[in-house]
Amino acid sequence: MTQIKPADGDAMKTLTLLRHAKSGWDDAVPRDFDRPLNPKGRRAAQVIGRFLKTQGAAFDHVLASPALRVVETLVEVEYGYGRALAPAWDKRVYLASAATLLDLIRELPEAAGTALVVGHNPGLEDLVLDLVADGGDLRDAVEAKYPTAAVAVMTWDGGWADLRSGAATLEAFTRPRDLDATLGPDED
């Protein structure tokens, strides 16, 4: 676990990517879009919210998938964070590829210095791996697994439209189990 550092200077942007928390597969729902969180996922999202608060993380813009598991993740994150995040819901984030996510990020308001994108894998993981040059323990951890409710924080010089492959620095990658060992992988 590393600390989240805000971007320094006006020319630098900070992008935080949050994967939705663990959803329930036991619930009989007709569509994947409607899958809710399970109890462990709710707890993990609250832990991540508290972590974001202790790190002083702040977001000028929040973009999120409207899938139920993302909506519920944000409710729990807000509970731990202690305030509303006011996301812009965009169906294009639902199960988006890294390329689609990058297009959406490039459309973010230039006045926003920090943004949070809440969505799904494999798009989030693939986006981090594309934006961050090879090497480094944090990137290796993302490549090994970007688990549910994990947060990646990247910075780069320039605006949202300037974001390119290999241009970002991965400042932090935090998994729920880094904060609470009981939120680690389930044992089968």
The residue segments making up the domain with residue 171 are 12-178
Give the pLDDT mean for 20-34: 86
Domain contains 188? no
pTM greater than 0.85 (yes/no):
yes
Per-chain mean pLDDT for the chain: 92
Give residue 10's pLDDT: 55
pLDDT score of 1 more than 70: no
Give the pLDDT mean for 92-105: 98
Domain contains 184? no
Give residue 2's pLDDT: 47
Q: What percent of the chain has pLDDT over 90?
A: 86
SS3 track for the chain: CCCCCCCCCCCEEEEEEEECCCECCCCCCCCHHHCCECHHHHHHHHHHHHHHHHCCCCCCEEEECCCHHHHHHHHHHHHHHCCCCCCEECHHHCCCCHHHHHHHHHCCCCCCCEEEEEECCCHHHHHHHHHECCCCHHHHHHHHCCCCCCEEEEEEECCHHHCCCCCEEEEEEECHHHHCHHHCCCCC
Give residue 158's pLDDT: 94
What CATH number is attached to the domain comprising 79?
Answer: 3.40.50.1240
Domain contains 187? no
Domain contains 105? yes
pLDDT score of 7 more than 60: no
Give the pLDDT mean for 38-44: 97
Domain contains 183? no
Q: What is the pLDDT of residues 110-159, one digit of tens each?
A: 999 999 999 999 999 999 999 999 888 999 999 999 999 999 999 999 99
Domain contains 3? no
| Total structural domains within the chain | 1
Give residue 187's pLDDT: 47
Domain contains 25? yes
Give residue 4's pLDDT: 61
Domain contains 62? yes
What are the CA-CA distances from residue 118 to residues 8, 52, 62, 173 (Å)? 23, 14, 8, 15
